[in-house]
Amino acid sequence: MKFATYRNGHPDGCLMVVSRDLAWALDASGLAPNLLQALQDWDMIAPELERLSDALNAGRKANAMPFDPARCMAPLPRTFQWCDASAFLNHGQLMERAFNTAPIPDFDTIPVMYQGASDDFLGPCDPVPMPDEALGIDFEGEFGVVTGQVAMGAPPEVAERAIRLVVQLNDWSLRSLAAREMRSGFGFLQAKPSTSFAPVAVTPDELGEGWRDGRVQLDLEVTWNEERFGYPNGGEMHYSFGELLAHAARTRKLGAGTIIGTGTVSNAGGHRGSACITERRVIEILEQGAPVTSFMRFGDRVRMCARTPAGEAPFGAIDQCVVQDSAVEAA
C-alpha cells in the first residue's frame, strides 16, 4: 500500500491511498482521518485500507482523483517521536579522517542515534525557511521507517516486524551550529531544522527487491540546482532497521508512529557521489587539502528521488527551494 497526506486545514491533514504508479489518489479519511490514527489502529484498519488500495490499483477509480504531490504535507506531518541514526559508517569515518577526530567508541557495534523534533515536518514541495545563509545550510538524503508499537527490549528480528511503512526524507542541517551542539554532549537541537519528507509512504512489500535484509536497496538520486550531486545506494547501511529499532527500544517501548531514520546515505569509494554537502566537502579536504564546495544559499533548490533499477520512484520526489524565513526578513 501507498499513502499520502493532503492538506485540509488540520495539522494532521487528510489520509489518502495512492496508486502504485502514483497516478491516482483516493480519500481514505472515512476509515481513519489521518495516517497517525491509522497507525494507532493498524490491525483493525489495515485490511480495509488494503481493499481500497487493491481497487485503486485494479483501475476501479470511483471517487479517485489524479495524485498531486503539491497538495501533500509530509506523510506524517507530526508524530510523537523521530529518531535519526548514523547507520552508514562510511559517512562517519570520512568525517573522522578529514577532521582528525578520535573514532566514536563502538561505532561499528552500537548504533549512534539522536532524538529530533517531530512537531513540524515539511511536505515534499514546501519552501524551506532558514534564518541565515551563514549557518551552513546543508541537505541530508535519507531513508526511514514508521513503526507500530515496539516493546521495550525487543530484539532486532521482533522489532523489524513492527515496521509499517518506509519513507524517504531530507534531514536538513545547519553545520555552523552542529559542532557546538555536538561538543555539548546533549545532541542536536538548533542545528536540525524541520525535516522534509517525500510525498508517499509505502509498506515494505511495495518495494519488492528494493526491501531486503531490513534495508532499502535503492539508489537515492540527489540534484542541487539541477546538477547531479550523488546517487548512493541504501543497501550499504551497516545496521538494519531492525537493529536500529532494537537500539531505540532497549530501555523503553516505542509508540505507533515512531519514525527512525538512517542518517545520510553514503557509499564507500565515492564513485556514487554524496547525499549531503558536508560529505563532499570532507572528501575535498582529504583529496585537495581544503573544501571547495560552499553550502546552500537562499533560492537554491534540492531534489531527492529514490529509484528502482527500472527507473520507478516509489516515494515520489522531494523538490524544495531554500528561502529566508519571513520573520527574520521582517525584523
Fold held by 75-330: Fumarylacetoacetate hydrolase; domain 2 (3.90.850)
In the chain, the amino acid numbered 263 is G
The percentage of the chain sitting over the pLDDT mark of 90, rounded to a whole number, equals: 86
Say what the pLDDT of residue 329 is: 54
Say what the pLDDT of residue 331 is: 43
Residue ranges per domain, the chain?
2-70, 75-330
Say what the pLDDT of residue 244 is: 98
Give this prediction's pTM: 0.95
The Cα 208–Cα 204 span in angstroms is: 8
The Cα 12–Cα 205 span in angstroms is: 25
Mean pLDDT of all residues in 155-162: 98
Angstrom distances, CA of residue 21 to CA of 6, 116, 153, 179? 18, 32, 38, 42
Residues 21-72: tens digit of each pLDDT: 999 999 999 999 999 999 999 999 999 999 999 999 999 888 999 999 999 9
Q: Show the cell assigned to 315.
A: 516515494
Cβ–Cβ under 8 Å, residues 175 and 199: no
- In DSSP terms, 100 is beta-bridged to none
Residues 288-312: tens digit of each pLDDT: 999 999 999 999 999 999 999 999 9
